[in-house]
Structure 1
Amino acid sequence: MAFIEGILNNQTFAVCFISWFVAQILKVILTFIFDKKIDVSRFVGSGGMPSSHSSFVTSLATSIGIQRGYESLEFAMALVFALIVMYDAAGVRRAVGKQAKILNKMIEDIQEHRKDVFNEKRLKELVGHTPVEVLSGAILGIIIANIMV
């Protein structure tokens, strides 16, 4: 019980959660604005604008920086963690999404000729982020942390 109470009273965790939540809500709103459809799966899905991963980790680093100091070991660790997550989102995970798109097209082309070759579901293509999506998420996380802490 003390663990749950501690988490619920942890300001830094609250900042991170709110930052993630706002980013996910913005994905649903932006999908509605640009695609003219309500897609609630965007609330829990990865990829898209803004990066909730970036928002989450930059709000963590910013919150720690404000509370412990930007010269602290805790801030340095959070910053390194944030940079790794954002690099992964725009690099590795984005490449995975591009590969999934190509593989899905290849499977469609093969299935046009032979229906019995693949029974797998389509691979998820929206996995990573563009640099703009990562930067937008990072800015969102920094702003929310500065407002809340």
Structure 2
Amino acid sequence: MEIFQNFPLWSALIAIIVAQFIKIPLAYFATKKLNFELFTSTGGMPSSHSAAVTALSTAVAIEMGLDSPVFAATAILGIIVMFDATGVRRHAGYHATVLNQLVADFNKLVDEVKTWPKKEDAEKLKELLGHQPIEVFFGALLGIFITLGLYNWIF
């Protein structure tokens, strides 16, 4: 099957998996808590989005050259994804933090006034949505190194 021969696709997928896996031990060293949910979460170090788009662009550059229109498309896509990760998604995470604090304060007020029932089962908004620029940078480096390593290992 041709899909199994698609080096750019597999480079990007492997970069995502490796970046997501790396988040677990990095978070453990920082917090001393083992959290396997990080494997399927967004945000954090390194950025799996950045790893994926740079792995894709690097693999396309290897296979088709830097002057290829496909490389240009993947490079621009990568820039947009990384810009979004450090901009809109990161600020959405800040908004989620503020909203979660407002919900907690509101529930505290309700509990103190004892006029409304406290809603403990209210679902919190996800706060870790975007990335710090350093997380995007290391995700991008990871994507490039994974692709170069895979290329040298396979070919």
Give unmatched runs, 5+ long, in structure 2: 112-116
* Aligned-residue offset at 1:138: 0.4
1:51 aligns with one of 42, 47, 50: 47
Cα distance between partner residues in 2 of 1:14 and 1:30: 24
Structure 1 match to 2:23? 27
Give a deviation string over 1:115-139, Cα, whole Å, max 9, x none. 5476631100001000000000001
Give unmatched runs, 5+ long, in structure 1: none
Structure 2 match to 1:127? 129
Q: Map residues 130-149 of structure 1 onto 2, 5 A cutoff.
A: 130-149=132-151
1:110·1:117 contact (CA, 8 Å) conserved in 2? no
* Aligned-residue offset at 1:9: 2.8
Identity score, percent: 39
Q: CA RMSD in A?
A: 1.3
TM-score, normalised with respect to structure 2: 0.89
Give a deviation string over 1:6-55, Cα, whole Å, max 9, x none. 32332211111111111011101101111111111100100000000000
Structure 1 match to 2:114? none
In structure 2, give the amino acid aligned to 1:87: F
TM-score, normalised with respect to structure 1: 0.92
Give a deviation string over 1:82-135, Cα, whole Å, max 9, x none. 001001111000000000000000110111011547663110000100000000
Runs of 4+ in 1 over 3 A off after TM superposition: 115-120
Aligned residues: 145
Structure 2 match to 1:10? 6
